[in-house]
Amino acid sequence: AQKVTQAQTEISVVEKEDVTLDCVYETRDTTYYLFWYKQPPSGELVFLIRRNSFDEQNEISGRYSWNFQKSTSSFNFTITASQVVDSAVYFCALSHTGNQFYFGTGTSLTVIP
Amino acid sequence: NAGVTQTPKFRILKIGQSMTLQCTQDMNHNYMYWYRQDPGMGLKLIYYSVGAGITDKGEVPNGYNVSRSTTEDFPLRLELAAPSQTSVYFCASSPGRGFSYEQYFGPGTRLTVT
């Protein structure tokens, strides 16, 4: 079975704090892709990152970084020095072939000025 | 490029009515998808298509139908609307196999069935 769990329903941080959003996935396949999407209050979904199962290198993009660990089936997302514009719902997703996608239930992040 | 466009943005249906949600993409993407998002939930895949003339069911296909006659368009048909279909519907596209699988989403359609 394929499943994505985002156990943190809501997180609040004060501006400039660092915050990590957790994502744990389940799959029996050896080839798969993991994604993070951002849904700001306006409602659209914005692609942030894709990682395939063969690439465990961590990635950094500005204030965003991602930690992929196959040993713990986790693909966590850290925002450094959070800003009010980071307030959004963040979704983690899993896909094997690009056909079926499985989304977590999302983590709502509020950054307090 | 307009990306992925969806119409209408909002719609209220009475129980038992039917309607079609339109989705068009201008990125020449092979893959297209329909999702629904219920409050506090993630996205659930309704149907997807890997190319013109090819469609397949996702996790929650009951009560919906799709067609894909062109690369650009992927309409979603609701027959006999029910209150359980009240949701926000998102269409997405991706380049697909051999390219990349990141999805580009439309702005969504908020549907209420009363």
SS (H, E, C) chain B: CCCEEEECCEEEECCCCCEEEEEEECCCCCEEEEEEECCCCCEEEEEEEEECCEEEECCCCCCEEECCCCCCECCEEECCCCHHHCEEEEEEEECCCCCCCCCEECCCEEEEEC
Model confidence at B42: pLDDT above 90 = no
Cα separation, B81 vs B20, whole angstroms:
11
**Prior bond of B8 cis (ω within 30°):** yes
Q: What is the pLDDT of residue B7?
A: 96
Q: What is the pLDDT of residue A56?
A: 82
Q: What is the pLDDT of residue B99?
A: 61
Enumerate the residues of chain B whose CB falls inside 8 A of the CB of residue A90: none
Q: What is the pLDDT of residue A98?
A: 78
Question: Stretch B28-52: mean pLDDT, rounded?
Answer: 93
Enumerate the residues of chain B whose CB falls inside 8 A of the CB of residue A100: 45, 48, 58-59
Please name the member of B43, B104, B108 whose beta carbon is closest to the beta carbon of A47.
B104
More confident: A61 or B23: B23
Mean pLDDT score of chain B, rounded to an integer?
A: 93
Q: What is the pLDDT of residue A61?
A: 86
Please name the member of B44, B48, B107 whose beta carbon is closest to the beta carbon of A99.
B48
| Look-up of token digits 């506090």 | B40
Q: What is the pLDDT of residue B98?
A: 62
| Best to test chain B binding among A99, A100, A105 (most B CBs inside 10 Å) | A99
Enumerate the residues of chain A whose CB falls inside 8 A of the CB of residue B103: 35, 37, 45, 47, 101
Model confidence at B105: pLDDT above 90 = yes
| Best to test chain A binding among B54, B101, B109 (most A CBs inside 10 Å) | B101
Tens of each residue's pLDDT in chain A, 113 residues: 789 999 999 999 999 999 999 999 999 998 999 999 999 999 999 999 988 898 888 888 899 999 999 999 999 999 999 999 999 999 999 998 878 899 999 999 999 99
Q: What is the pLDDT of residue B41?
A: 83
More confident: B102 or B5: B5
Q: What is the pLDDT of residue B49?
A: 95
Enumerate the residues of chain A whose CB falls inside 8 A of the CB of residue B45: 100-101
Q: Which band of pLDDT confidence, cut at 50, 70 and 90, is reported for residue B109?
A: very high
Q: What is the pLDDT of residue A113?
A: 95
Residue B75: exposure state from Cβ atoms within 10 A (0-12, 13-18, ≥19): middle
Question: Stretch B53-71: mean pLDDT, rounded?
Answer: 95
Contact between B15 and B74 under an 8 Å Cβ cutoff? The reply is no
Q: What is the pLDDT of residue A16?
A: 97
Question: Stretch B23-34: mean pLDDT, rounded?
Answer: 95
Contact B43 A47 (CB under 8 A): no
